[in-house]
Amino acid sequence: MADNSRDPIIRTVPQPADMNGNGDIFGGWVLSQMDIAGGALAARTAKGRVATVAITAMTFVQPIKVGDMVSIYGKVSKIGRTSITIDLETVVQRRNDATEIQVTHGTFVFVAIDGDGKPMEGSPLGFEFPRTETGDVGLGLVY
């Protein structure tokens, strides 16, 4: 379950246009939201542009329904020579229930890129970022 002391990177509510034929939200929709959230955290961490290079793990635990409040949380799990690995967790609150339910989790890898789209090398990436006591990197809403 989500730790209520964390702030979500993204919080949104899926709409009927995001449904599949079974009445649940498309897996691709939540994957896209997680990629946006992971990219925002990776870019903030790298202090510059990043590109998604891999999704090394993705688990769909439960369906997302229209009207669910969807929150995506993330933390930096690894920094390499040019890459940043982000662990992401998606939780929902059903329409009339404040209980948080984990619906997906995954690991996304981003590479820091320069203005020409080429990987930037550093040691590691030449930046520092603030961490909480639990090791999470803080990030507010994406804007």
Please give the Cα distance from 54 to 138 (Å, whole number).
23
Instruction: Identify the pLDDT of residue 115.
Output: 83
Token couple for 59 = 């688990």
pLDDT for 122 equals: 55
> Is the N-terminal amide bond of 124 cis, ω within 30° of 0?
yes
Give pLDDT, residue 97.
Answer: 93
pLDDT computed for residue 91 by the predictor: 98
pLDDT the model gives residue 68: 97
Residue 25, class by beta-carbon neighbours within 10 Å (0-12 exposed, 13-18 middle, 19+ buried)?
buried
SS3 of 108, please? Answer: strand
Q: What pLDDT is stored for residue 3 in this prediction?
A: 52
Write the single-letter amino acid at 120: M
pLDDT at 82: 83
pLDDT at site 114:
84
| pLDDT, block means (10 residues), the chain with 143 residues | 71 96 95 97 92 95 96 95 93 94 97 84 49 45 25
| One-character DSSP codes across 58-106 | EEE-S--BTT-EEEEEEEEEEE-SSEEEEEEEEEEE-TT---EEEEEEE
Q: What are the pLDDT digits (tens) for 64-82?
A: 999 999 999 999 999 988 8
Alpha carbon of residue 22 to chain centroid: 25
**Helix (H, G, I), strand (E, B), or coil: what is residue 111?**
strand
What is this structure's pTM? 0.81
Give the position of tokens 């688990």.
59
Confidence at residue 81, expressed as pLDDT on a 0 to 100 scale: 81
Q: Where does residue 70 rank: exposed (0-12), middle (13-18), buried (19+ CB within 10 A)?
A: buried
Note the pLDDT of residue 121: 64
